[in-house]
Structure 1
């Protein structure tokens, strides 16, 4: 059956808008409650906290006049995490014991474990998205995702291998290929989405990031490897004998060798390129998000994004200003609190007062940093992506029919959380 039958092809296309309330009333309470309960429950409450955050952001995202809904629960995520751990713990144990049972495999135990867990992590990422899609509903229509998680993991692993072999140049093509796979397996009701994302659409912003942030470090590292005959000495970095802390320094024995010169080049390149790379990350993310949104469609309905890089920079700029103000306020409170505590506890002395004030302010700082980040960065990035995206030919979207497909299990995201590759919120589709 044609989902879009009956939509006039010659009629003027009606555009749908996406809105989000940036004021986000009630969000601060959710964050503080989630932080404190996660702290006292040794992070177990985080599953309910994540669900509350998603429900908040989904419900305040208005698509063509109707809010989205998030139907997932913290209990589902927690049970999925427990089941995932029951699967992963034996795997970890087998990999650990292999090094003892077969001495010849001992040198390869760590690389084998890394490769296995990396591939499993890619599988978990895809399956975690399936869970989130199946718990998302709009106008009573549930989203879904099909496709094989193993196929996605295989593609992702091969693309990462190609990215490593090309020293990062294949990265935008990898991102586009995986985006096409995800979107092409995304369903809204009975209708399937499509993506025409290409690596060329994000190649220029990636090259800007690559040339400024990665190329100098890669080139200096290759020069260092060449100077050592691609066999770096194990004692190139040693612990500083002048300090009790585990601080690494360059071995003075190599001070008059080419290794010293090229090692200095690596440090110099990193000290310049890493800050520049950090500055360019919002630019690349904004360009990639806009390109991928513009490539997504559902039949005749298409997404159109006008997102600008400055809309990704502004939240981080405000975040830095808010942090400076918050830390300054904490310093003033600390300076006022210590004399008061010392006066109330003369027998304990000033040192105990300082420790008590430090503990209280440390907890307050953690809560404050979390609240400030969510309200100034997460909310504004979400608002920027939502409000700069429109739906072209809205009647084609409104013609979508609901599906009877059952929702996915919480184990899908539990595995991602157990491998620490899952996230509370993802900006973008």
Structure 2
């Protein structure tokens, strides 16, 4: 009889018996036929040894049990979980002090506020029971903040005085943006540690300009068709150039997976827009004009939230570190409720519940993130790197760019 193993979805727990001869390689991304969730396949022991009659290969070849080679020893696979141990009351104390000191110092306390916030969130984020740590220097961030503030001030002044100068400044920033992305990534990862081992990032500037500038310039020509592929290339660049100590991260997704995620947004947006225009043209009134517009934004927000959630799940679930494969199982309905209730709570409390909303959202995201593999993270070796300035990160933050994973 043929050997079989059991494949189980970690999201809906659907299980199916599959023959060993047709199972994918360990680490391959598998799609659940029931809930359509993506998760990495992990090898399991088969129910029976491969062979037409269940006889071990060594015995079938005529070897005696004493001559058969013993099976190679391997570490048991286990799942390491992320968790957040902070709470809204503790973070509220940090948040309110940061807010007041920013106001009193006219913003000059921002670097210290940023460090306090990150150290709190990092220190309360645990992977396999061990917290992360952020080691950034507030004085380095202050220098970067001043440089970024100077650039932003020049651009704001130029946009009011000379459109030509402001356009030149914007072209200059577009030219240095890939460099900003790389340097910002180096600064953030270099100052992040886990188990006293720092993260790192390889400064591949040529590839950075290719994926963050050249492919972006092709968007108008292709009418946005390349958006999924560009997103895929950027995620792959950020993941594969990152490392934990001397161990690099790996990325296993394909462009086709990203194109499939964007399909609902591509289909629903034109349909909703046509419905709005048709309703306005057929019977123009206050209700017929307001209702389709509201419906359009509701559909667009839900579709956009689905795309963002699916992209996060796919990116994390396609990332591995050594023998460990990450899995993210965020659900759209959960995030829709969290975002909606957070917005209502923050608005009704005049912003005072913002710390509670931030802690709540982060806790949910970490609860749905795991890392499965053999052994632990203790064997990863540290690496030595030089310090990097914080100016690129601050410049990206002030102009509203998200440079994170």
* CA displacement, residues 4-33 of structure 1 (integer Å, 9 cap, x when unaligned): xxxx87332122111112634410011111
Q: Structure 1: which 5+ runs fail to align?
A: 1-7, 100-105, 222-257, 327-364
* Paired residue total: 326
Match for 2:327 among 293, 300, 304? Answer: 304
Q: CA deviation at 1:382?
A: 1.8
Tell me if the contact between 1:124 and 1:149 (Cα under 8 Å) persists in the aligned partners. no
Distance 2:86 2:332 in 1: 18
- Counterparts of 1:13-28 in structure 2, within 5 Å, are 13-21=77-85, 23-28=87-92
Alpha-carbon offset, residue 269 of structure 1? 7.7
User: What does residue range 259-408 of structure 1 map to in structure 2 within 5 Å?
Assistant: 272-323=295-346, 325-326=348-349, 365=350, 369=351, 371-376=352-357, 378-395=358-375, 397-408=377-388
1:124 aligns with 2:157: no
**1:144–1:9: structure 2 CA closer, same or farther, 3 Å change rule?**
farther
1:413 aligned residue (389, 393, 402): 393
Greater CA deviation, 139-148 or 211-220?
Answer: 211-220
User: Is the 1:18–1:61 Cα contact (8 Å) retained in structure 2?
Assistant: yes
Partner of 1:415: helix, strand, or coil? helix
Change (3 A) 1:273 1:76: same
Are the structure 2 counterparts of residues 34 and 155 from structure 1 closer, same or farther at C-alpha, using a change threshold of 3 Å?
same
> Contact 2:158/2:166 (CA < 8 Å) preserved in 1?
no
Task: Tell me how far apart the structure 2 counterparts of residues 159 and 46 of structure 1 sit (CA, whole Å).
Answer: 34
**1:344-381: CA deviations, max 9, x gaps?**
xxxxxxxxxxxxxxxxxxxxx3xxx1x423422x3233
Higher helix fraction: Structure 1 or Structure 2?
1
Asked whether the 8 Å contact 1:16–1:390 carries over to 2, the reply is yes
Distance 1:279 1:216, change over 3 A: closer
Change (3 A) 1:80 1:298: same
Matches of 1:373 and 1:46 in 2, distance apart? Answer: 17
Deviation at 1:86, TM superposition (A): 6.0
CA distance in 2, matches of 1:386, 1:217: 36
State the secondary structure of the residue aligned to 2:386: coil
Q: Which has the higher contact order (CA 8 A, sep 6+)?
A: 1
Change (3 A) 1:110 1:410: closer
Instruction: Give the distance between the partners of 1:150 and 1:214, measured in 2 at CA.
Output: 37
Partners of 1:299 and 1:27 lie apart in 2 by: 34
1:318 positional shift: 1.7
Q: Is the 8 A contact 1:125 1:421 kept in 2?
A: no
Q: Is the partner of 1:69 in helix, strand or coil?
A: strand
Q: Return the match for 2:104 from 35, 40, 44.
A: 40
2:232 pairs with 176, 179, 185, which one?
Answer: 176
Counterpart Cα distance in 1 of 2:359 and 2:220: 34
Aligned residue number for residue 213 of structure 1: 269
- Higher strand content, 1 or 2: 2
CA RMSD of aligned residues (A): 3.5
Q: What TM-score, normalized by structure 2, do the two folds share?
A: 0.69
Give a deviation string over 1:83-106, Cα, whole Å, max 9, x none. Answer: 445678789999999x7xxxxxx8
For residue 358 of structure 1, what is the aligned residue in structure 2? none
Relative to structure 2, which stretch is displaced further, 175-184 or 211-220? 211-220
Q: Per the alignment, do residues 92 and 307 of structure 1 end up closer, same or farther by CA in structure 2, a change over 3 Å counting?
A: closer
Q: State the SS of the aligned residue for 2:183.
A: helix
Q: Cα distance 1:144–1:205, how it changes in 2: closer, same or farther (>3 A)?
A: same
Q: What is aligned with 1:31?
A: 95
SS in 1 for 2:375: helix
- Tell me the equivalent position of 1:340: none
Residue 294 of structure 1, CA deviation: 0.7
1:185 corresponding residue in structure 2: 241
Alpha-carbon displacement from aligned partner over 1:221-275 (angstroms, at most 9, x marks no partner): 9xxxxxxxxxxxxxxxxxxxxxxxxxxxxxxxxxxxx9xx9xxxx9998664334
1:195 matched to 2:251? The reply is yes
Check whether the contact 2:319–2:325 (CA below 8 A) recurs between aligned residues.
yes
Q: Which moved more, 1:193-202 or 1:70-79?
A: 193-202
Change in Cα spacing, 1:396 to 1:22, as seen in structure 2 (3 Å) is closer
The reply to whether residue 114 of structure 1 matches residue 174 of structure 2 is no
